[in-house]
Amino acid sequence: MTAQQQQLKLFTYSVIERKDEIEEKYERCYQTLQSLTTGLNDREYHDALTSHISKDKSQEEVISLGLLTAVLLDTKNADKIYRDLTLLSRDGLQSVISHLQQFTLEKWSRLLEPPRKQLLWLVREMVRNNIAGVDNLCWNLMRNAAGGDISTTNIALIEYLLDLYQDHRKWLERFPWLIASVVYSFLRFIEDHSSLIPLRNREVAFTISLLRDRFTDCLVIGRDLIRLLQNVSRIQEFETLWKDLLHNPQSLSPSLTNGIIQILETRTSRRFLQSRLTPDMERKLVFFTSSVRFGHHKRYQEWFQNKYLNTPEAQSLRSDLIRFIVGLIHPTNELLCSDIIPRWAVIGWLITTCTSNIALANAKMALFYDWVCYDPKHDNIMNIEPAILVMLNSLRIHPTVTASLLDFLCRIIPNFYPAQSERIRNGIFVSLKQILDKRVLASLVPLFTNPRIDGELRAMIQNTFREFCDPPAVQGDPIKNDDIMDNLLTSLKDELISENDDISFSDEEPETSPKKNIIIENNSVPAIKTIPLKVKLKEKNVLPLDLDKEALQTLTKELRLETETLYFEKDNERKCEAMEKIVQLIIQDDDIYPEMLAALGSCISCLLKNQIEEKILPSVLNDDALEDSIGKPIFVMFRSLTQFAEEDSRRLQLFSLLAEMRTHQTRIGYLLLYYLQVSSLINNNADRKVNGIKSHVYKEFCETQEVELNECLLSDLQLCQEDDTSMFCWLIPAVYDQFSKIVVGNEDFLHLVVSTIDGSQIQEIICLILQGKLSMFRSDAVPSLATSSLDWETMEQYFFWQLVSAHDIDIKVILSNITKLDYNNHPETLTSILLTLKKEKPTLDLLKPILCREIKPLNDQFVISVISSWYLEHGDNVANLVSQLLISRCPVVSPTKRKRGQGQGLGSRGGVAPPSAERILGHMERIRSRGTCPVLFRAEGMQKALQIAQAACTDTQRMLFSNLFQLLEEDEPHTPTTNRNSTSGKRGRKAAPTFGNSNKKNAKSVIKDLSDSSEESSEEEEVIKPRQTKKRRKINAVASESD
Amino acid sequence: MMSISKPKPINPDTPLTLIKDIQNNVNNITVMCIVLEVNPAVQLKDNHEVRTVKVADSSACINFSVWDEPGSFLYPGDIIRVHRAYAIYFRNCLTLYVGKNGEIEKIGDFIMTFNESVNMSEINLNAPPPQPPPGSNGNAISNARRTGVGKQNMKPNTFKGNNGKSGPRSQMRPERK
């Protein structure tokens, strides 16, 4: 068994790693195979497997996986097992290949040495047998041969690949793209292997022969072929190749009519850039640039560096990484706006941590490589954007990086390709222009003339890039005079708009604010400039980057033109006309496709983004300003909606369009609300009918989206509240008015309101409530709202209670919950109720629920405070009420009815019913011990009530409240200590039942609640118990007399 | 049957506890986190060593005290799952431990976001006293190092917890019920 255990080892594990599912699966398949075949001879073996497979199709994979595992594990019999595998496979080994892909992409680094060797052997066999798909497998395998890594395992893999391709050159030549990949990879290996001369010589010979024979195939690589060839150009064979490339390019490939420039103009296909990162590096880098927040990136950089960049030979990997980032990692606009680490920061890190000069120069070259022959038609702005941003953003912290990059940029113009320096200069200038046109930067002046850069370099930049250093550049076509003003205006306007555009590049430092600069310059130097011209060009051509171009293409020509007008047209009137036209087009076309609507929705919401996102609510709220605020194209669409009759089916198209737009632009929802409210205000303040119809528009809007009205409304308001609180507050009264069924008394909406508003806004709302213009809840909803409000923030609760008091809610409604509120956990609510109560006149109805509150916890001062404050205000009135209540709760009942006589009121748990006498006494006792209103107890009624209560007490209770009863006036014949005996003497014959459950347990709990009596309690209980029955009779007597 | 012998399988589906939700005396939780720092091992007598490892997940970070062998396999950037973990205060810092029969499992590296700004192990001067009263309180590490107190009953210890016996762990921190 142990022998077999050894055998079955595919992957390495540290102590804290576990076998994963993939390996377990292989293991299972292998075991199935073993169990089927142990002890069989060759013939039986084959038959057994064939019959097993034919029985069940799912077993096919099991067996082929089992055999694959066997090949990887069993060195000796691999030959034979591979033969079985090919014989049994019915898919030409395709499933095996796909499993091997998984090995090479995900598991390579974990594979143990022996299985790894077997895997390589298997690939070689498959190449030899010309199995389909093995070319792809080789490409994946080649990715695992890392750049910048001369460890033995890596070198062994490279040597293996070299042998494989050399031995099977014929096979290789059948796959032109693989040839290009091999050339690309080996050019990199050659660069790394300067210390491994024998290997390097073989690599050079092989690569050169591939290049010379198959140069046309290699052209698909694109400009990075030249970059790698430059890096190895000192090797003699490559020097010769370079000569041919420079002077006789067509000898290499007849299609190379324009020589090196032709290659440099070809954008490198992503596949090659990707191929130089191992799958693991790629995963990490992609994660790093898509999920790690800027400011939290240090550790990831450290980990990545420790794993891949720490050796001296790994320096060359930096260029590969930079090329990968520049060419493959193209973040979406959303990501650009987020706080995820920007690409320039990653590249800046790779450059600043580079320690070798050669590698550093290569890294800079890699960063600028798409600049040298940039062509806006074929190249992507995202490929040149990182370099400019690295320079701009390094200015403050790493000015030397910026300086060295700028220096590099200046120098490559004459030195990169001296014979074609004009072409290179043109490429770089086009890049810079593109950067300005696409608004990566609004101006290069702050970068090119920055004082942090030393004078000499600045002079060189000035020389090289004069037209970018000098906003009022002198070149350009003269413009007719009457265009000047117009152009200046557009350019200014454009600068303003650009503030919005620029948000997409979140990394611009506030310190360098190029936009402002250029505005000033345009103002101060109103000469004839080229800038306005450029701006115009831009406007004609450039749609926003995040626009779904495909969607735009699906539109009919007419729609597309109008949609584009929405964006390009400067004049608002014209825009609105375009929108109207769009609306017309939609409603005229009865069977417009849903896809078309979807595309249109996406385009419109993208093109009108700036408009939708800007602040719409005017700062001064008068009719004119409000009317102006809905003068935008988006509102034109809303207007059309409201103008249709309700049963007109054509509006459904518009609703679907709106619903589409809402999926792209969630703001649409509350803007619709806003529009409806503004238009109803303006049209006819008093006409309720109009309002009714209009809220109907919103309802239908929700229906089209298949969302519940209340959910839709809530989420729209939530969003509105996040975007623009003042608009939110402005909308609240309208929403409460028009959607009263849903909103009034609704907890979620109420919470949204109180969580958002500030002091002045609550004031406004309360004013509206007091004027009767707004009602947010009715009194029946208050108890449940109050209960839910317990979880809210303190401020929110206070706002809520202010709203409650503004609403004139009957205090009794509020008090219905009073027993459930906890002094320590619900301070806001209790305080608010307390303050409300203070203003009320004490009545029996108010007193009852209050006294029903439990007597614990000890620090609970609620009841004490209410009674005391009333006492201070209303004097004996309170005493009378309390005593009245107390007396009513000390009922006189015949002895037979004792315990249950008075229903639930007798229990010590109060509930909504009147409080038990015991509880009242408990509260009184606490008031007494607090000493807040001593005179209260002297009131006549109180004295009487206490007497009655005392008489009705059990012994336990009497002990409990002894301090209270002590307050009975002197002329009373007993003292608490003697009352057990003496009361009976003076009074009574009739029985008054005990109140409360007088069993011992309950008494105990009450005792514990009362701090003052606690000392006596334990002793007392023992005393009381034996006497209880006897006692009761005597008490009964007392009570009777009081009648 | 393959590679190394593993303890009885731990259900991988046990719900994860976020680090921010870890409180004093929580027990038997599963935490998935990324290793941020591995501090040098502190050698105890009797061939035990303990490392304080700072780990984090998307919600917060916390100190994790790792005993013996597994600690030497942990590197910054490793993503681990800690099974049957518990947390208590150690020297006023909330600290995560592998519980009895618990286990550390490495499941990947690098590809996980974390939040370092919330540190659950920040010193809390109002921390409750260690559970079992004097003798086995939280100062034992320094005691053990300075005076060798506690070495007598230290026993060889596997990384999976100390099987409920009074190993060093009971010297270092209170045993869990």
**DSSP string covering A400-414, please?**
HHHHHHHHHHHHHHH
Residues from chain B that touch A303, judged by Cβ atoms under 8 A, are 76-77, 109-110
Residues from chain B that touch A15, judged by Cβ atoms under 8 A, are 4, 69-70, 73, 159
Comparing CB atoms, the residue among A9, A283, A284 nearest residue B3 is A9
**Band (A540; pLDDT cuts 50, 70, 90):** very low
Helix crossing, A862-874 with A876-888: angle to 10°?
Answer: 130
Looking at every residue in chain A, the average pLDDT score rounds to 78
Contact B144, B49 (CB under 8 A): no
Domain count, chain B: 1
What is the DSSP pairing of strand B61-67 with strand B78-90? unpaired
Residues from chain A that touch B114, judged by Cβ atoms under 8 A, are 296
Contact A717, A733 (CB under 8 A): no
pLDDT in tens, A485-510: 444 444 444 444 443 433 333 333 33
> What is the model's pLDDT at position A891?
61
Residue whose tokens read 């990545």: A304
State the DSSP code for B129.
P
Domain annotation covers residue B166: no
Burial of A691 (0-12, 13-18, 19+ CB in 10 A): buried
Closest Cα partner for A724 from A801, A667, A780, A787?
A667
Domain annotation covers residue B10: no
> What is the model's pLDDT at position A727?
84
Dihedral-angle region of residue A706 (phi above 0 means left; psi in -120 to 50 means alpha; beta otherwise): left
Residues from chain B that touch A287, judged by Cβ atoms under 8 A, are 110-111
Percentage, residues of chain A above pLDDT 70: 81
**Band (A684; pLDDT cuts 50, 70, 90):** low
Give the pLDDT mean for A884-906. 54
CB pairs under 8 A between A and B: 64
| Chain A residue nearest residue B108, CA to CA | A17
Number of C-beta neighbours around residue A685 at 10 A:
10
Comparing CB atoms, the residue among A14, A18, A284 nearest residue B110 is A284
Burial of A889 (0-12, 13-18, 19+ CB in 10 A): buried
Alpha helices in B8-126 (DSSP H): 69-72
Q: How far apart are CA B111 and CA B131, in angstroms?
A: 37
Q: How far apart are CA A301 and CA A318, in angstroms?
A: 13
> What is the model's pLDDT at position A999?
43
Q: A885 vs A407, which has greater pLDDT?
A: A407
- A778 near B CB under 8 A: no
> What is the model's pLDDT at position A650?
73
Which CA distances in Å does A642 have to A654, A659, A676?
11, 16, 8
Chain CA centroid to CA B112, Å: 21
Contact across the interface for A296 and B116, Cβ inside 8 Å: yes
CATH of the domain at B81: 2.40.50.140
Dihedral-angle region of residue B142 (phi above 0 means left; psi in -120 to 50 means alpha; beta otherwise): alpha
Cβ under 8 Å to A: B residues 79-108: 80, 103-106
Residue whose tokens read 């004295």: A943
- A1020 has pLDDT over 60: no
Q: A668 vs A148, which has greater pLDDT?
A: A148
Structure tokens at B11: 């259900």
pLDDT in tens, A241-277: 999 999 999 999 999 988 899 999 999 999 999 999 9
Q: How far apart are CA A486 and CA B18, in angstroms?
A: 60
> What is the model's pLDDT at position A472?
47
- A283 near B CB under 8 A: yes
Q: How far apart are CA A625 and CA A631, in angstroms?
A: 10
Domain annotation covers residue B2: no
Contact across the interface for A19 and B3, Cβ inside 8 Å: yes
Which CA distances in Å does A464 have to A415, A450, A458, A460?
13, 15, 10, 6
Contact across the interface for B69 and A15, Cβ inside 8 Å: yes
- A13 near B CB under 8 A: yes
- Shortest distance between the Cα of B147 and any Cα of chain A, in A, equals 32
> What is the model's pLDDT at position B12?
60
Residues from chain A that touch B10, judged by Cβ atoms under 8 A, are none
- B76 near A CB under 8 A: yes
Mutate to test the interface with A, among B3, B35, B117 (most CBs of A within 10 A): B3
Beta bridge partners of A22: none
Contact across the interface for A293 and B74, Cβ inside 8 Å: no
Which residues form the domain of B127?
19-158
- Shortest distance between the Cα of B61 and any Cα of chain A, in A, equals 13
pTM: 0.55
Contact B42, B51 (CB under 8 A): yes
- A670 has pLDDT over 80: yes
* Per-residue buried b or exposed e for A507-523, using 16+ beta carbons within 10 Å of the residue's own CB: ebeeebebbebbbebbe
Classify A32 as helix, strand or coil.
helix
Mutate to test the interface with A, among B106, B111, B159 (most CBs of A within 10 A): B111
Q: How far apart are CA B86 and CA B92, in angstroms?
A: 16
Residues from chain B that touch A301, judged by Cβ atoms under 8 A, are none
Residues from chain A that touch B109, judged by Cβ atoms under 8 A, are 303
- B67 near A CB under 8 A: no
CA neighbours closer than 13 Å in the CB half-sphere of residue A388: 28
Residues from chain B that touch A304, judged by Cβ atoms under 8 A, are 110
Closest Cα partner for A210 from A255, A245, A252, A243?
A252
- B70 near A CB under 8 A: yes
Burial of A774 (0-12, 13-18, 19+ CB in 10 A): buried
CA neighbours closer than 13 Å in the CB half-sphere of residue B74: 31
Concatenating the DSSP letter of every residue in A558-623 gives HHHHHHHHHHH---HHHHHHHHHHHHHHHHH-TT--HHHHHHHHHHHHHHTHHHHHS--S-SS-SH
Residues sharing a CB contact under 8 Å with residue A864, sequence separation 6 or more, in sequence order: A923, A926, A927, A930, A932
> What is the model's pLDDT at position A641?
78
- B11 near A CB under 8 A: no
Comparing CB atoms, the residue among A16, A306, A307 nearest residue B106 is A16
ipTM metric? 0.76
| Chain B residue nearest residue A291, CA to CA | B113
Beta bridge partners of B119: B61
| Chain B residue nearest residue A300, CA to CA | B110
Q: How far apart are CA A190 and CA A31, in angstroms?
A: 44
- A686 near B CB under 8 A: no
Which CA distances in Å does A336 have to A270, A294, A326, A538, A1043?
21, 11, 14, 22, 87
- A618 has pLDDT over 60: yes
| Chain B residue nearest residue A286, CA to CA | B111
Per-residue 3-state assignment (H helix, E strand, C coil) for A874-935: HCHHHHHHHHHHHHHCCCCCCHHHCCCCCHHHHCCCCCCCCCCHHHHHHHHHHHHHHCCCHH
Domain annotation covers residue B127: yes
Comparing CB atoms, the residue among B3, B103, B111 nearest residue A13 is B3
Which CA distances in Å does A600 have to A544, A562, A565, A587, B140?
15, 11, 13, 13, 70
Give the pLDDT mean for A696-717. 81
Classify A26 as helix, strand or coil.
helix
Comparing CB atoms, the residue among B4, B76, B80 nearest residue A299 is B76
Mutate to test the interface with A, among B1, B2, B38 (most CBs of A within 10 A): B2
Structure tokens at A963: 């301090």
**Band (A1042; pLDDT cuts 50, 70, 90):** very low
pLDDT in tens, B136-158: 333 434 333 333 333 344 434 43
**Band (A810; pLDDT cuts 50, 70, 90):** confident
* Per-residue buried b or exposed e for A368-386, using 16+ beta carbons within 10 Å of the residue's own CB: bbbbbbbeeeebebbbbbb
- Long-range pairs of A254-260 with CB within 8 A, sequence gap ≥ 24: A254/A216, A255/A216, A255/A219, A256/A215, A256/A219, A260/A226, A260/A417, A260/A420
- A839 near B CB under 8 A: no
Structure tokens at A292: 């790690």
Domain annotation covers residue B12: no
What angle (nearest 5°) sits at the alpha carbon of residue A109, between those of residues A103 and A111?
A: 60
Give the pLDDT mean for A636-665. 78
Domain annotation covers residue B66: yes
Structure tokens at A615: 């602040």
pLDDT in tens, B14-59: 789 999 999 999 999 999 999 999 999 999 888 889 999 999 999 9
pLDDT in tens, A542-590: 666 667 777 777 777 777 777 777 777 777 777 888 888 888 877 777 6
Domain annotation covers residue B11: no
Residues from chain B that touch A5, judged by Cβ atoms under 8 A, are 1-2
**Band (A828; pLDDT cuts 50, 70, 90):** confident
- A325 has pLDDT over 80: yes
Torsion angles phi and psi, residue A74, rounded to 5: -100, 90
- Tell me which H or E stretch contains A304: helix A298-304
Highest mean pLDDT among A525-529, A898-902, A958-962, A1011-1015 belongs to: A958-962
What angle (nearest 5°) sits at the alpha carbon of residue A378, between those of residues A372 and A384?
A: 45
Contact B79, B111 (CB under 8 A): yes
Structure tokens at A190: 């050659």
Q: A371 vs A859, which has greater pLDDT?
A: A371
Sign of the alpha-carbon torsion through A299, A301, A306, A307: positive
| Chain B residue nearest residue A299, CA to CA | B36
Residues from chain B that touch A9, judged by Cβ atoms under 8 A, are 2-3
Number of C-beta neighbours around residue A762 at 10 A:
19
Q: How far apart are CA B152 and CA B173, in angstroms?
A: 16
Contact B80, B105 (CB under 8 A): yes
> What is the model's pLDDT at position A471?
58
